[in-house]
Amino acid sequence: MLGTFQQSQLRIEIEATQIAIRDSLLQSGKLRHWLWPQRLPAGLPEQLHQGLTFVSWTGPVAIQHQVEVAQPNCLRMLLSQGIDGYHEWYWGEGWVQSRLEGVSLLPLNLGQTLSLLRLRQFICSDSLKVKVVS
């Protein structure tokens, strides 16, 4: 694999329940909405689960994901192709943490930061829709 070894760990606060955060990370339909510019393949199951393998695209770069752990408060994926490494997510009531390590030509810290900000924006706008409707 060409590139440099990179590692990044970020944690942010989100005004959301653990369930809302979990659903945004494990439900492929919600994941697809906020993970832009990364594109997920059609035909993913509704819920990410252990053993699932899929390829996403960031521009012309393919990244293979193998879900190693998918639990109510943790998601860990082994990455290959465009990133050789892993991505871990942990969350709880009002917070989410992401840890990313790998060898890649992509700027992993920048991508991780943008992903967390988009996740927070998505969850906050999604919770506003629920409040307006109810």
Rounded to two decimals, the pTM is: 0.89
What's the pLDDT tens digit per position in 20-40?
A: 999 999 999 999 999 988 899
What's the pLDDT tens digit per position in 57-89?
A: 998 999 999 999 999 999 999 999 999 999 999
- What is the CATH class of 6-133? alpha beta
CB atoms within 10 A of CB 69: 11
How many angstroms separate the CA atoms of 20 and 47, rounded? 14
Of 82, 83, 87, 81, give the one whose Cα is nearest residue 31. 87
Domain ranges, ordered by start, for the chain: 6-133
In our burial notation (b when 16+ CB lie closer than 10 A, e otherwise), range 103-133 reads: ebebebeebbeebbebbbebbeebeeeeeee
Query: Under a CB-based contact definition with an 8 Å cutoff, are residues 122 and 33 in contact?
Result: yes
